[in-house]
Amino acid sequence: MVTVRDLTKKFGNMVALDRVSLSVSEGDFVFLTGASGSGKTTFLRLLIRELKPDSGILEVNGQDMLKLKGQALPLFRRDIGTVYQDFKLLNDQNVAENVALPLEVRGVKSPDIRQAVEISLEMVGLKGKNRLFPAQLSGGELQRVGLARAIVAKPKLLLADEPTGNLDPKTAQSIVKLIKEIHTHLKTTVIMATHNSEIVNRYGLRVITLDKGRLIKDEPTGRYD
């Protein structure tokens, strides 16, 4: 699913990622950890080609990120769902409209969109809240909407960038539990960036740790140090 060898990304004189090498197999669930500024978000942005690598090898779902042409990006991104810390919902659109966006941009027929949205909202525990607007929802509900939008098209790869960063501990636990259930149900590969040690240590899954752009740990059943 993801192959990385000697991956390097710089912003001017600052090295954000320094010769990182790792691989993520289809169906894996990986926690990506490290302090702020360690390179976690940069790594995720490279995976969806918001950024281009400066050097090294980066392949995602069979695509070479160094060779992928701009016109091929929309098709490539169809197989990737992304969840953000700050939700990134459209405040002037209701829950159903926000979740439907990934399907609308690819021209899916309206009846199929409605069915997919209903299924996605039910999976995240928001059945019946289609017509509510973001301002009417709690933080946990907003993140559930973001998660529903990310999975509505059944992506092969789900990227979560600090999805619990703005949530209280109890709500954060429920969101990660939900992501784990989706991973199991949809067989989706998940890479979740987090600095929440309690969540990481509770699940005992694979942990990849970055420090100042360098990979310093990759353990199959790791802990947050």
CATH number of the domain where residue 20 is located: 3.40.50.300
CA atoms within 13 A on the CB side of 155: 29
Q: Is residue 10 part of a domain?
A: yes
State the average pLDDT over residues 71-96. Answer: 94
DSSP string, 101-147: HHHHTTT--HHHHHHHHHHHHHHTT-TT-TT--GGGS-HHHHHHHHH
The Cα-based distances of 48 to 64, 176, 219 in angstroms read: 11, 21, 24
Q: Is residue 136 part of a domain?
A: no
Edge-first strand listing for the sheet containing 2-11:
14-24, 2-11, 55-60, 63-64
Quick check: 124 and 98 in contact, CB under 8 A? no
Quick check: 96 and 129 in contact, CB under 8 A? no
**Torsion of Cα atoms, 151 then 154 then 159 then 165, to 10°:** 20
Distance CA 43, CA 119 (A): 31
Distance CA 25, CA 209 (A): 17
Beta bridge partners of residue 208, listed in sequence order: 32, 218
Q: For all residues of the chain together, what is the average pLDDT?
A: 95
pLDDT of residue 166: 87
> Tell me: the pLDDT tens digits for 87-140?
999 999 999 999 999 999 889 999 999 999 999 999 999 999 999 999 999 999
For the cut 90, the answer to whether the pLDDT of residue 225 exceeds it is: no
Joined tokens for residue 147: 């998660």
Q: Which residue has the tokens 């752009």?
A: 213
Distance CA 144, CA 83 (A): 9
> Tell me: the pLDDT tens digits for 146-169?
999 999 999 999 999 999 988 999
Angular region, 69: left φ>0, alpha ψ -120 to 50, beta rest: beta
For the cut 80, the answer to whether the pLDDT of residue 6 exceeds it is: yes
Q: Is residue 30 part of a domain?
A: yes
Q: Is residue 25 part of a domain?
A: yes
Beta bridge partners of residue 11, listed in sequence order: 14
Q: Is residue 133 part of a domain?
A: no
- Phi, psi (degrees; rounded to nearest 5) at 68: -65, 125
Domain span at residue 45 reads: 1-78+188-225
pLDDT of residue 147: 97
Q: Is residue 104 part of a domain?
A: no
Quick check: 167 and 139 in contact, CB under 8 A? yes
Q: Is residue 58 part of a domain?
A: yes
Q: Is residue 215 part of a domain?
A: yes
Share of the chain above pLDDT 90, in %: 91
Q: Are strands 2-11 and 206-211 parallel, antiparallel or unpaired?
A: unpaired
Domain count within the chain:
1
pTM for this structure?
0.95
> Tell me: the pLDDT tens digits for 24-57?
999 999 999 999 899 999 999 999 999 999 999 9
